[in-house]
Amino acid sequence: MKEGGKSELISWIQSVAIAFVIAIVIRQFLFTPVVVSGQSMQPTFENDNKIVISKVYKIDRFDMIVFHAPDSEDNFIKRVIGLPGDVVVMNNDKLYINGVEYEEDYVQENKAGIFEGQKLTQDFKVEVPEGYLYVLGDNRRNSTDSRIIGFIDEKSVIGSVKFRFYPFREMGIPK
């Protein structure tokens, strides 16, 4: 091999190695792709939607997060409803956090599919302890969330949902 060809090959190998290291660092510490499994976040996410989560985040109320589920090998995706110290009340399908009523636009499609007089979400009242979150799925009638598994330790959060990249027709920042 000629000297010029050898240095060209070394240059390519170095470039590929650097790109590989950068990709690993980004995936390990900044962003990672996740495939949604199940129906608990319908209609916001469907089964097999592909999303990107950020591992650098500040969790706010109504953010969608991915976390290690307690007593399970699975990771769950849910919406944060209660932050540490919040008093969360659901009364007649109306959400109150610290005494303030919040509209939940993301559940309206599911609410439209139930019979008059039925509730989408059963009534409850909880106070979120320090270091924990209260999460609910958007598909309230078919979601294993804090109503069943309890509060979510903030340390179990893997990341916050930032972008949907599949299906392509729904690509973008989820609401």
Catalytic residue among 2, 6, 11, 40: 40
Question: Cα-Cα-Cα-Cα dihedral of 139, 144, 147, 153, to 10°?
Answer: -120
Asked if residues 62 and 80 have their Cβ atoms less than 8 Å apart, the reply is yes
Which of 136, 163, 133 lies closest to 33, judged by CA? 163
CA–CA separation, 4 and 93 (whole Å)? 72
Catalytic residue among 7, 78, 146, 155: 78
143 is a catalytic site residue: no
156 is a catalytic site residue: no
Which of 174, 165, 167, 121 lies closest to 33, judged by CA? 165
Asked if residues 13 and 32 have their Cβ atoms less than 8 Å apart, the reply is no
Catalytic sites, residue numbers: 40, 78
